[in-house]
């Protein structure tokens, strides 16, 4: 009898203090760190899948003429590249960071809703796999662009309902993730951690969480209407039945514009976390950063039709959306000025996370400038749907969101694993990335201004030189990211062998709570709430 009791106790201990054994650990886990790791690993895998699709695109565009793929498959590639990168790589990566960091930053033991956390991850996997399976279906994967505009998207072969259900799953997953994050932030903060003492990363995710909860149902609704138009004889988007194809664009961009801020707000949060640590200074203007983030989030809901300046809106609409869009430059400018002021008169060092963060500030600002140019509706009549916009949003996504994700990786990997990454290879990765990303995307500004439309598989010969340069940049950028994979694996396996301290970075524990925990941190982060709240970041 006593043996049975002892075994029961053992099991009980197990459940409380450590992960399950074996591979099943990763399937059934409800631990915020395990789920964070799953999200990050999955996102990194999808980054390479989406990247491979980008390589197909750049290979076809290397020279004028059609060399490798047929135009239909090319369109599938541009569509799937975007969907995989947005919903499979960038968004999950930030959810992964949120899972890992938010409980540790606010002094909590775990997320508020751990079982839902597990479910939201596995729904994400199901959604992305369903989406990827369309590549092998009769008629090919969706090829109407990631915006899925009707009537074109209704010409998709067998893949349409699968793509729509994939979007539903991804939407449910995102909403559950967002609810969990919001619930955690509101309910699990350590005593004394008032809202205005939260680290910026937590603040930006709180706001992002509300954005996601508001917009994902809208997207689900819009794709459901596509489904009923295709299979149940409704005419939401068909003029012949009294509908309007442009209605879809309004609904889509009401989701789509906040969606791009879903990818950039947590980026701001990480940058605001990293820069002060390496400048050895508090963040300049903490409260104005919080207000600027909230303003950007609010504005994101009222500017959607700037994606549609050429659909033939009445002039009042054009002017309103132009003015509203221009306003975004103000809070965004405030953020850039604040980061600059944070560096000003600091005592800076330039480890890999700081290098990526500085590159983010500079290159994101360049993306911001082109965004400002395109906000001017009449001139957008020229820029719209050319490579100029392709350059613009890639500047705000790749050397911004993706660079900051890399920065976050370098910044927190030592904390997560207890091992130091190889600084030399990290810096090599940075310099290769920052140079090649500009060779890749900067010439696309020229192409767009010179008149090359986006989403074309072949082009007139005057666009040949810049396309070739852009492709070369693309291949180098793609190959450089394999270095990141190597560094991550090497760090997990022991890194440089140097034992990292709890703080990892000089005086980091003055900035945020995660640096007060051991490296690697215990399985349940803060089993008792911390008593001292760091305020250096405020």
- Residue ranges in 356-375 that form contacts with other proteins under rule CB under 8 A: 358, 361-362, 365-366, 369, 372-373
Q: For residues 120 and 35, what is the distance between their CA atoms, to the nearest angstrom?
A: 10
Which of 41/536 has CB closer to other proteins?
A: 536
> Which entry of 197, 250, 427, 454 is annotated as an active-site residue?
454
Pick from 348, 425, 435, 485 the residue near other proteins by CB under 8 A: 348
Which of 330/532 has CB closer to other proteins?
A: 330
> Which entry of 32, 33, 58, 81 is annotated as an active-site residue?
81
Residues 294-313 that bind other proteins (CB under 8 A): 310-312
Burial letters 370-400, b for 16+ CB under 10 A, else e? bbbebbebeebeebbebbbbbbbbbbbbbbb
CB of 434 to other proteins, least distance (A): 14
The answer to whether 106 contacts other proteins (rule: CB under 8 A) is no
> Which entry of 257, 281, 415, 445 is annotated as an active-site residue?
257
443 three-class SS: helix
CB of 302 to other proteins, least distance (A): 16
> Which entry of 79, 174, 204, 401 is annotated as an active-site residue?
174
Pick from 19, 161, 217, 245 the residue near other proteins by CB under 8 A: 245
**Residues 114-143 as x/- pattern, contact with other proteins by CB under 8 A:** -----------------------xxxx--x
The answer to whether 161 contacts other proteins (rule: CB under 8 A) is no
The answer to whether 272 contacts other proteins (rule: CB under 8 A) is no
> Which entry of 39, 100, 146, 339 is annotated as an active-site residue?
146
**Greatest CA separation found in the chain?**
85
Which of 100/248 has CB closer to other proteins?
A: 248
Q: Does residue 146 carry a catalytic annotation?
A: yes
The answer to whether 515 contacts other proteins (rule: CB under 8 A) is no
The answer to whether 344 contacts other proteins (rule: CB under 8 A) is yes
According to DSSP, the residues that pair with 499 across neighbouring strands are: 419
Which of 71/494 has CB closer to other proteins?
A: 71
Q: Does residue 12 carry a catalytic annotation?
A: no
CB of 400 to other proteins, least distance (A): 15
Q: For residues 73 and 502, what is the distance between their CA atoms, to the nearest angstrom?
A: 50
Dump the DSSP string for 116-173: HHHHHHHHHHHHHHHHHHGGGSTT-S--STTTT-TTGGGG--TTHHHHHHHHHHHHHH
Distances (CA, A) of 534 to 170, 513, 517, 537: 36, 7, 13, 8
Q: Are 444 and 466 in contact (CB under 8 A)?
A: yes
Distances (CA, A) of 159 to 222, 390, 408, 425, 501: 17, 26, 36, 42, 51
The answer to whether 317 contacts other proteins (rule: CB under 8 A) is no
Q: Does residue 332 carry a catalytic annotation?
A: yes
> Which entry of 261, 395, 505, 515 is annotated as an active-site residue?
261
CB atoms within 10 A of CB 499: 10
According to DSSP, the residues that pair with 453 across neighbouring strands are: 386
Residues 441-480 that bind other proteins (CB under 8 A): 446, 449-451, 453-466, 468-469, 472
The answer to whether 233 contacts other proteins (rule: CB under 8 A) is no
Q: Does residue 519 carry a catalytic annotation?
A: no
Which of 18/65 has CB closer to other proteins?
A: 65
Angle in degrees, CA 235, 240, 244, rounded to 5: 60
Q: Are 180 and 116 in contact (CB under 8 A)?
A: yes
Q: For residues 25 and 95, what is the distance between their CA atoms, to the nearest angstrom?
A: 20
Cis peptide before 520 (omega within 30 of 0): yes
User: Closest Cα to residue 502, out of 494, 491, 510?
Assistant: 510
Q: Does residue 306 carry a catalytic annotation?
A: yes
Dump the DSSP string for 32-56: HHHHHHHHHHHHHHHHHHHHHHHHH
The answer to whether 391 contacts other proteins (rule: CB under 8 A) is no
CB of 392 to other proteins, least distance (A): 12
> Which entry of 34, 60, 78, 110 is annotated as an active-site residue?
110
CB of 229 to other proteins, least distance (A): 13
Q: Does residue 510 carry a catalytic annotation?
A: no
Q: Does residue 257 carry a catalytic annotation?
A: yes
- Residues labelled catalytic: 81, 110, 146, 173-174, 257, 259, 261, 272, 306-307, 332, 335, 454
């Amino acid at each position: 009898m006593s043996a049975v009791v002892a075994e029961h106790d053992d099991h009980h201990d197990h459940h409380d203090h450590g992960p399950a054994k074996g591979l099943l650990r990763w399937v059934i886990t409800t631990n915020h760190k395990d789920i964070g790791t799953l999200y990050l690993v999955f996102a990194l895998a999808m980054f390479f899948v989406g990247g491979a699709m980008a390589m197909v695109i750049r290979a076809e565009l290397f020279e004028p003429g059609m060399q490798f793929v047929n135009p239909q498959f090319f369109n599938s590639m541009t569509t799937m590249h975007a969907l995989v990168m947005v919903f499979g790589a960038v968004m999950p990566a930030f959810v992964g960071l949120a899972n890992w960091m938010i409980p540790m930053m606010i002094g909590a033991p775990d997320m508020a809703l751990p079982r839902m956390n597990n479910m939201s991850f596995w729904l994400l996997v199901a959604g992305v796999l369903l989406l990827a399976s369309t590549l092998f279906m009769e008629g090919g994967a969706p090829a109407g662009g990631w915006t899925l505009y009707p009537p074109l998207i209704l010409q998709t072969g067998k893949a349409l309902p699968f793509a729509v259900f994939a979007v539903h799953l991804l939407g449910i997953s995102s909403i559950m993730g967002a609810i969990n994050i919001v619930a955690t932030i509101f309910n699990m903060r350590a005593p004394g951690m008032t809202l205005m003492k939260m680290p910026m990363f937590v603040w930006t995710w709180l706001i992002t969480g509300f954005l996601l909860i508001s917009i994902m149902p809208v997207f689900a609704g819009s794709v459901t209407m596509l489904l009923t138009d295709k299979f149940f004889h409704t005419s939401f988007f068909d003029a012949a039945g009294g509908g309007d194809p442009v209605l879809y664009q309004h609904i889509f961009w009401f989701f789509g514009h906040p969606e791009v801020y879903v990818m950039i707000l947590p980026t701001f949060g990480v940058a605001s976390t990293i820069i002060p640590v390496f400048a050895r200074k508090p963040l300049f203007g903490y409260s104005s950063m919080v207000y600027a983030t909230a303003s950007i989030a609010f504005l994101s809901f009222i500017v959607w039709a700037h994606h549609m300046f050429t659909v033939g809106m009445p002039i009042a609409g054009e002017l309103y959306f132009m003015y509203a869009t221009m306003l975004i430059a103000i809070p965004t400018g405030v953020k850039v000025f604040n980061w600059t002021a944070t560096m000003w008169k600091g005592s800076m060092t330039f480890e890999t996370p700081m290098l990526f963060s500085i590159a983010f500030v500079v290159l994101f600002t360049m993306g911001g400038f082109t965004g400002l140019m395109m906000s001017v509706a009449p001139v957008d009549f020229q820029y719209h749907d050319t490579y100029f916009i392709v350059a613009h949003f890639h500047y705000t996504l790749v050397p911004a969101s993706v660079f900051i994700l890399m920065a976050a990786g370098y910044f927190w990997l030592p904390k997560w694993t207890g091992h130091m990454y190889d600084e030399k290879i990290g810096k090599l990765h940075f310099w290769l990335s920052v140079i090649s990303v500009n060779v890749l995307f900067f010439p696309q500004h020229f192409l767009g201004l010179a008149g090359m439309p986006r989403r074309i598989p072949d082009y007139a010969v005057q666009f040949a030189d810049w396309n070739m340069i852009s492709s070369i940049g693309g291949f180098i950028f793609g190959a450089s990211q394999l270095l990141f994979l190597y560094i991550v694996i090497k760090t997990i396996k022991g890194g440089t062998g140097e034992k990292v301290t709890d703080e990892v970075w000089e005086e980091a524990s003055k900035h945020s709570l995660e640096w007060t925990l051991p490296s690697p941190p215990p399985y349940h982060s803060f089993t008792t709430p911390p008593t001292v709240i760091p305020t250096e970041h405020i």
